[in-house]
Structure 1
Amino acid sequence: MDKADIVEVLEEIAVLLELKGENPFKIRAYQTGARALETMEEDLGELIESGELGSVKGIGSALVDKIETLYETGELEYYTKLRDSVAPGLIEMLDIPGLGGKKVKRLHDELDVDTVEGLKSACEVGKVAALKGFGKKSEEKILSGIENREAYAKRHLWWRAREVAEPILAGLRELPQVERAEVAGSLRRLKETVGDLDFIVASSEPEKVMDWFTSREEVREVTAKGKTKSSVRFESGLQADLRVVPAAQFAFALHHFTGSKDHNVAMRQRALSKGYSLSEWGIKKSEGESESEGVSRSEATTRPGAAERETGPGEGVGITSEKDLFAFLGLPEIPPELREGMGELELEKIPDLVSKDRIRGVFHNHTTASDGRATIEEMAAAAQDLGWDYLGLADHSKASYQANGLDDERVLKQIEEIRAFNESGESPVHVFAGIECDILRDGSLDLEDGTLQALDYTVMSVHSSFSQSEEEMTARVIKAIEHPGTTMLGHPTGRLLLRREPFKINLQKVIDAAIANRVIIEINANPRRLDMDWRLWRRAANKGLMCAINPDAHRTEGLDYFEAGVNVARKGGLSRDQILNCRDVKGVQKWFEERE
């Protein structure tokens, strides 16, 4: 295990001990040890090899053995037994916003609930509201969290879904029976969350392809297996469907099972206007039937015989790619990420969408100075590995005390460290000195004006008081945007995908204020945030809003999240000119200087 993984284990041990009602000092020892390990700058392997790990303040002798065992073996019997000793339902309760180890233990001890379902029942009859320290509002928040959890259980983060899909797609393409294979559906459209996976294969030997697909080791359940379609479910609950079609139908099937329902309806209407009937099986001269209302994907695949239907592409013979299909209908090729039925067929010109290779660096990243798990040097080295020219570091400010936020003195010290790093010539990556400064409840900022002015740039974010009304939150954020020290607005709705709903805020007013004050709004590329939402970007950018793609990385591996941010930018129709990250170092410096 590496240092970051070990920190996570120590943090989870502390929570599990809370659930079991262990001695507070013992709990605090693991919390302190995790923090000490997280923030130390020395190499963990070297400290272990030299026997000096125990000299690190906050890491006692009892923790030394456990950390060394985790580092060397990746396992810890104490942790495994502790986790097994706690009811799984209590651990699941920790996923409900607002519930930590202490609260879950109280709910278990006083109401005898040990499952999410039991907790829901207790809330519905008012038992939780009656508990001292909870009340009606807490009960309502818990119920809302449970309801969201149930709804979200059917969706999966794009980032995680891709990790499942990529080896399957690679395996399909290696099969000798497979002529062509692609992933379709919402994963291919780069949606922020994915319901299930769709694979489309061209083959004349579908049975062998189905056998390979349904017998994979990671498959927990085969929910359906036919000659040309099979469905499986994985341990995570994610379902995957495989459809095998003749090569002549591949382009049509891929297009159909990629596009949203609204996109497919628009395409069928387009075909009808030209005298053709379009479906997942092909395109042919229309026989006069009306398809203006369209047929949904579920209807198309559940009609008797639909999955086994064999019909040629008719008048579409010669269409071997989606590009051919769009051209046949007099359209430019529409990228998969734009196929949402949001006017993409009416675009006069397909935008030159930003791509990963256009990104020259990123902003809003954390180091061990606050709650990050890598040093300035380590983050810069990771940026260099990605081929970037620069990296922005923006640790938390002091109001985020739980994240070891920096006060004014520590911010100024970090600026000096970053300047010294740049002057040393140690790395070809230029490091910009920034901060993620809390927007306080009244819209004021968490640091002195002089401190903000000393930085290269700032990211202003809301981390507290999420329950404010829409009017209060909007006024709060706009007040921060109007402050001359503000460069960027971070994760503007505070949402956590599949876990926490966005706080109430009028984003149109916020966008207008950002444009008026030349403030950037970020695409927070953390796969759980992807905030600001892609649906808002095309119009906002066309009005003059500048975007920055920020991975909000707390470790070196987190820098890879920038790709998810590029997905959002592409879905939002953004080109390189509308994204600060596509500028070189001098271009970024010029932006920062000119807006002052």
Structure 2
Amino acid sequence: MEKSDIIAVLERIAILLELKGENPFKSRAYTNGARILKAKEETIIELVDSGQLNEIKGIGKALADKITTLVTTGSLPYYENLKAEFPESLFDMLRVPGMGSKKIKLLYDKMGIASLSELETACQENRIADLPGFGTRTQTKILQGIEFIKQHQGQHHYISAFTVAESIKSALHDHPRVIRVEIGGSLRRAKEVVKDVDIVASVLDSSQNEVMEFFISLDAVDSVVANGPTKSSVIVEGGLQVDLRIVSDKEFPFTLHHFTGSKEHNTAMRREAKTLGLKMNEYGLFTDEDKSQECKDEKAIFSALNMAYIPPELREDRGEIEAAKKNSLPSLVSKNDLRGILHNHTTWSDGHNSLEEMANACRDLGMHYLGIADHSQAAQYANGLTPERLQQQAQAISDLNENFSDFRIFHGTECDILSDGSLDFPDDILARLDYVVISVHSKLEMSETEATERIIKAMQNPFATILAHPTGRILLGRKGYSLNYKELFAAAKEYSVVIEINANPYRYDLDWRYIRQAKEAGVMLSINPDAHRTSGFADMFSAIGIARKGWLTKDDVLNTKNLEQITAYFAEKRSA
């Protein structure tokens, strides 16, 4: 079993123990064990084989033995016996925001509610409002949460789908009978969540069956939905469906284009082809005589239609075709444009790596600067820094910076925006910092007007540099609060506040649908990983597709500035 699988089992055991009404300390031991394993960089095999597992503070012998059993046998009788005591459907209710194990236990014990559908019916019939700890408002929120889950049923985070798709693509690429292979669909367009994965391949003559058999036999495949010489569908871990389409190499560019663009983009492209007397589909670009034009790649297809090449991320029918016809598409930002990593956490608050470890990892990536922004004092749950600890951290960063000549750590804070729009630190504290990240972490249930006014008031603070995760959304988990984006972007422009594209793949917040609106309002954006460990830096690079979907260029993104430019930018903001 992988470490992530072990962690999931420990977390489930903790929940099952709570459902049983066991001593809270017993449940907490498993929760803490899962948290400790998450923080470890070593693989679970390394921890077990080296004996390190038994030496980790917080993991006792009994827990270490259970983890070892899971690693060596792939199962744990203790866990299986616990699972057998409750319906599996109880865990589905945990997906509803605000539904913890205590509420679920109460519903199960008092009313026998054991599934989302039963919970929904009970709420609709007004049967749980009078239960202790619930009420009419909670009942309404549960119904809203269930509706959100239903709307996003069968969807998967970009990063998990991309990881699987890249692995399968790599395997197909190495097959001797495959000529070309690419990922298509919404994944290639860098959508934040996807329903399935499309892969397109061209193969040597008479090799379709051989390649398809190879595809459906890959280790990643859990089950085969359909199998044919031109299309096969499989289910991989997590219930994600992956479709492979095999075509001739001549058809490959057209098929890839067709299975990349959104339905609306493809319809508009066919309409453009028709104005030129051509017929376009997934097999070619045809004249009236049904003779297909030769196009060796997608660029040639766009050229044949008198257009500039449209990058995959833009193929949503949101003005890209008109821009391509005028040759006015922007030169989109790329991974190679990024020069530094802002908004990061360390062991000073709730991060898992030290200042020095984060700095060294950042330098190893070829970056020129690192922006630290540990939590402010209101975030007690995240070990938020008091003014005294913040000053101590400033000295630690200053000492580290003495070791660098071509790299710098910028000292900042992720300062909570309080419910009235004021900031968690007074101005005399903020004035000492290189930059200030502001964000909302509490009282998320405001009206659109209240939430917008709260954030705009915070942006008026002269030291506010970056607004982090603007809507607070959690993809497939929490919708996030409503905002008046026109007012928000106007205020960001007026007060020179950068808006973050939070690169955490479970957030991707700001939503790409509003990024272009921010750009057109003259707002600077920043692609920040909100990293809590060195491995989190990778999120910044994976989120580049979200920035590209928002039509951003290098000049629109704060952390494409070099060290000299970003130093001057922060200095100007502080002195304004």
TM-score under structure 2 normalisation? Answer: 0.89
Give the conservation status (yes or no) of the 8 Å contact 1:391–1:431: yes
User: Using the alignment, how far apart are the partners of 2:454 and 2:284 within structure 1?
Assistant: 54
Secondary structure at the residue paired with 2:233?
A: strand
Alpha carbons of structure 1 residues 51 and 227: separation in structure 2 relative to 1, 3 Å: closer
**Per-residue CA distance 1:447-483 (angstroms, 9 max, x = gap):** 2222211111111111121211111111000000111
User: Using the alignment, how far apart are the partners of 2:223 and 2:90 within structure 1?
Assistant: 26
Question: Any gaps of 5 or more consecutive residues in structure 2?
Answer: none
> Match for 2:226 among 224, 227, 231?
224
Give 1:486 deviation, angstroms.
0.6
Alpha carbons of structure 1 residues 356 and 453: separation in structure 2 relative to 1, 3 Å: same
Give 1:568 deviation, angstroms.
1.0
Secondary structure at the residue paired with 1:436?
A: strand
Secondary structure at the residue paired with 1:258?
A: coil
Alpha carbons of structure 1 residues 238 and 226: separation in structure 2 relative to 1, 3 Å: same
Give 1:581 deviation, angstroms.
1.0
Secondary structure at the residue paired with 1:364?
A: strand
> Match for 1:334 among 310, 313, 329?
310
Alpha carbons of structure 1 residues 452 and 278: separation in structure 2 relative to 1, 3 Å: same
Give the conservation status (yes or no) of the 8 Å contact 2:96–2:146: yes
Give the conservation status (yes or no) of the 8 Å contact 2:184–2:200: yes
Give the conservation status (yes or no) of the 8 Å contact 1:38–1:372: no
Counterpart residue identity of residue 18, structure 1: E
Secondary structure at the residue paired with 2:457?
A: helix
Report the equivalent of 2:536: 558
**Per-residue CA distance 1:84-128 (angstroms, 9 max, x = gap):** 355432333222211122222222222222322332232222222
Report how many residues are paired.
Answer: 561
User: Using the alignment, how far apart are the partners of 2:38 and 2:246 within structure 1?
Assistant: 49
> Given the alignment of the two structures, is residue 404 of structure 1 paired with residue 383 of structure 2, yes or no?
yes
Equivalent residues in 2 for 1:376-415, closer than 5 Å:
376-415=355-394
User: Using the alignment, how far apart are the partners of 2:210 and 2:3 within structure 1?
Assistant: 44
Alpha carbons of structure 1 residues 361 and 201: separation in structure 2 relative to 1, 3 Å: same
Percentage of pairs with the same residue = 45
Counterpart residue identity of residue 259, structure 1: G
Give the conservation status (yes or no) of the 8 Å contact 2:286–2:292: yes
User: Using the alignment, how far apart are the partners of 1:441 and 1:137 within structure 2?
Assistant: 20
**Per-residue CA distance 1:176-234 (angstroms, 9 max, x = gap):** 22211111111111111111111111123312222222222332332222231122222
Give the conservation status (yes or no) of the 8 Å contact 2:448–2:484: yes
Alpha carbons of structure 1 residues 154 and 352: separation in structure 2 relative to 1, 3 Å: same
Give the conservation status (yes or no) of the 8 Å contact 2:438–2:468: yes
Report the equivalent of 1:256: 258
Secondary structure at the residue paired with 2:219?
A: coil
Alpha carbons of structure 1 residues 105 and 231: separation in structure 2 relative to 1, 3 Å: same
Alpha carbons of structure 1 residues 210 and 7: separation in structure 2 relative to 1, 3 Å: closer
Report the equivalent of 1:481: 459
User: Using the alignment, how far apart are the partners of 2:322 and 2:548 within structure 1?
Assistant: 17
Report the equivalent of 1:301: none
> Given the alignment of the two structures, is residue 280 of structure 1 paired with residue 282 of structure 2, yes or no?
yes
Give the conservation status (yes or no) of the 8 Å contact 2:345–2:351: yes
Give the conservation status (yes or no) of the 8 Å contact 2:489–2:521: no
Report the equivalent of 2:335: 356
> Given the alignment of the two structures, is residue 89 of structure 1 paired with residue 89 of structure 2, yes or no?
yes
> Given the alignment of the two structures, is residue 314 of structure 1 paired with residue 316 of structure 2, yes or no?
no
Give 1:28 deviation, angstroms.
5.0
Higher mean displacement: 230-239 or 22-31 = 22-31
> Given the alignment of the two structures, is residue 449 of structure 1 paired with residue 433 of structure 2, yes or no?
no
User: Using the alignment, how far apart are the partners of 1:227 and 1:253 within structure 2?
Assistant: 16
Report the equivalent of 1:324: 300
Alpha carbons of structure 1 residues 71 and 460: separation in structure 2 relative to 1, 3 Å: farther
User: Using the alignment, how far apart are the partners of 2:292 and 2:233 within structure 1?
Assistant: 31
User: Using the alignment, how far apart are the partners of 1:7 and 1:251 within structure 2?
Assistant: 42
**Per-residue CA distance 1:547-568 (angstroms, 9 max, x = gap):** 1111111222111100232111
Secondary structure at the residue paired with 2:567?
A: helix
Give 1:260 deviation, angstroms.
0.8
Give the conservation status (yes or no) of the 8 Å contact 2:6–2:70: no
Counterpart residue identity of residue 318, structure 2: M
**Per-residue CA distance 1:121-149 (angstroms, 9 max, x = gap):** 32222222121210111112112222222
Higher mean displacement: 513-522 or 172-181 = 172-181
